[in-house]
Chain A
């Protein structure tokens, strides 16, 4: 028998090694779970890394209040199945408390606001390492981030002061108040995620697969007609219509767009992903379209 690993097995072993390193070297780790496919794969790998123990750290969800109901349902179902502890940080509560102020525009995105809630939850629970499903192929600023990415007392990322990261020897030392964001899926690409979902028969929120939905076009993107997003009155190009769509990423309903697709299984999505000509964030995320450096700026502020 040849001693060869497939690329997926290699990536999975690498991710498990990173998760175990977190369990071994940190006192209060947690896993950031959005209900999206990357965090689903991450949680799945965490169960493998800790097997046959239950995942010994909590799962943190930052609830913007603008979530897809299918995603919240999926979150609760996974948390129950794996018997992990769920910690929810509510952006709405922070708004109600007056800690953050929402832009007075109907359907304003809460993308930037969630950074405050995330940092508050991290601080209140004194987490010293947060596992996240970020991938380097997602975006140019992410491509330069370390697997173990140090954040200062304010949760900020300083791209120019990153520690060199050599071999698979991770330097986890930090001062009190600082914490690490840890990205075990750094080296995974979108296609790897789908191949792994298929191989492992992972469950995902239903919105990832083709379904009928009432949508409208807004600056070239297909947004769902929902409580926070409606076509503007009198704008002819924003006529609502019903279409067969799926989502490539899961974010807020206000800033996540659908793509027209009939792919209803991971295998069909893999075929589509292999030939698609638009990146997943470019196609579907209004939050990354503001400028070439949108992600870099948000990361500097403490965003994931």
Chain B
């Protein structure tokens, strides 16, 4: 069975939590005691109907205020797939949560209220999904019951949104008219909308092809840990442990270690359950080489004729996640693959106006939840690829060296000369 990870986005009242509650409930993942707890709370608050959103609101403040503060992860499975949902809050100020949710997602599900149409927030989330390299976007036009299941209204919203999405990098856009509350087109096709010829949301999620989303071309193996057992049985064992970030690695392959540039051949690959002839992402493996090279954590194995960029001057899009604004001249700790270094923000190129997709090059700082383009100078070379080609080697985080807080998510661009 395959694993599909998706994030949800949309505005506050688009019914996201209700939809997730519905997916969990209709796919029989909600347990009786959890449902009863929600029913009790709904009754106590005087709601007209059982608020399925309560199933995902985990913290006390959230239940009290009826809002979602943080990314909540939810799990369900059908006979066809196992799903992980990153449920991200819809408030504008929580863009960083959307970025977080998207960073591990294969697909993003955006909700729109059929009465309101696409809002600023919908566009913002679509733009973030595109920026984070999400290939599959599902637009759920929700609350169709409140617009009389109107085909015209649905077509109008889809047309409007498609016009916006054309300017983004969205490879696969699917639009589905639903009612999360009534359950129309969520698990089963609705009889209320015979004009809709597509799949129900769950059928779509079960079938969408994600196998081609990984990069199986460019071999990148960031060394996570050097394993040298102190035991008689494995006296000469020297293994490089890590996750295959991209590409396929086979026994016998010639590889080059960065930064040293020395090459060797793969003698063996061991996966969690034993020896492998071949390894691919996202497998955790231990690799042994023919020659005793000086390789440590943070180094990278690749192919002699397919190497990542190596550089200390890099350009990136970042999403700023701290209260205090970012200005050029600041220094941070940077973590990229398995390397830590320090990074100086040399310049801020522009701030992205997410709503108009306009570049504001006069901006002198990035505020919380802003997205912008920066130039960084790092204390050690990074081995990286453009994020669009390789998420695993094109992503990084910036960490405040005083507070140790994670202050930015970064996506590397190809080097410009």
Contacts and interface: CB of A to CB of B under 8 A. Distances in A.
Contacts of B34: 279, 282
Interface stretch (B8-16, B185-193, B277-285): B277-285
A144 B58 contact: yes
Contacts of A219: none
Interface in A167-195: 167-169, 171, 173-175, 186-187, 189, 191-192
Interface string A247-286: 0000000000000000000000000000011110011000
Contacts of A49: 241, 284
B31 A279 contact: yes
Question: Max chain A CB contacts within 10 Å: which of B230, B284, B333?
Answer: B284
Given A137-B75, A143-B72, A173-B333, A167 B41 contact: no
A292 B41 contact: yes
A278 B33 contact: yes
Contacts of B230: 53
A76 interface: no
A78 interface: no
B70 A6 contact: no
The secondary-structure label for the interface of chain B is mixed
A24 interface: yes
A23 B226 CA distance: 10
Given A7-B1, A143-B74, A167-B391, A52 B229 contact: yes
A164 B97 contact: yes
Interface stretch (B231-239, B259-267, B356-364): B231-239
B406 A163 contact: yes
Contacts of A21: 224
Interface residues of B, number: 76
Contact of A165 (B37, B100, B231, B337): B100
Interface stretch (A8-16, A207-215, A226-234): A8-16
A95 interface: no
A166 B59 CA distance: 21
B225 A3 contact: no
B104 interface: yes
Given A3-B248, A136-B75, A160 B224 contact: no
A178 to B, nearest CB: 8
Interface string B35-47: 0010001000000
A293 B338 CA distance: 37
Given A23-B225, A140-B58, A13 B284 contact: yes
A48 interface: yes
B406 A171 contact: yes
A20 interface: yes
Given A6-B2, A13-B284, A136-B73, A166 B395 contact: yes
B327 interface: no
Interface stretch (B134-142, B341-349, B396-404): B396-404
A5 interface: yes
Interface residues of A, number: 62
A236 interface: no
Contacts of A11: 3
B409 A10 contact: no
A296 interface: yes
A24 B338 contact: yes
Contacts of B321: 164
A2 interface: yes
A24 B37 CA distance: 42
A296 B60 contact: yes
B416 interface: no
Question: Max chain B CB contacts within 10 Å: which of A53, A174, A283?
Answer: A53
B234 A52 contact: yes
A85 interface: no
Interface in A140-175: 140-144, 159-160, 162-169, 171, 173-175
Contacts of B73: 136, 143-144, 186-187
Given A20-B225, A164-B409, A187-B75, A173 B103 contact: no
A173 B399 contact: yes
Nearest to A171: B406
B33 A167 contact: no
Nearest to A291: B60
A206 B109 CA distance: 43
B270 interface: yes
B84 interface: yes
A120 interface: no
A295 B224 CA distance: 34
Nearest to A136: B73
A175 B280 CA distance: 36
B272 A12 contact: yes
Contacts of B92: none
For the complex of A and B, the 8 pairs showing the least CB-CB separation, nearest first, are: A282-B33, A140-B58, A279-B31, A16-B284, A13-B284, A7-B82, A173-B404, A53-B229
Given A3-B216, A13-B243, A296-B60, 10 more contacts: A3-B214, A7-B77, A13-B283, A20-B224, A20-B225, A48-B272, A166-B395, A171-B404, A187-B84, A292-B63
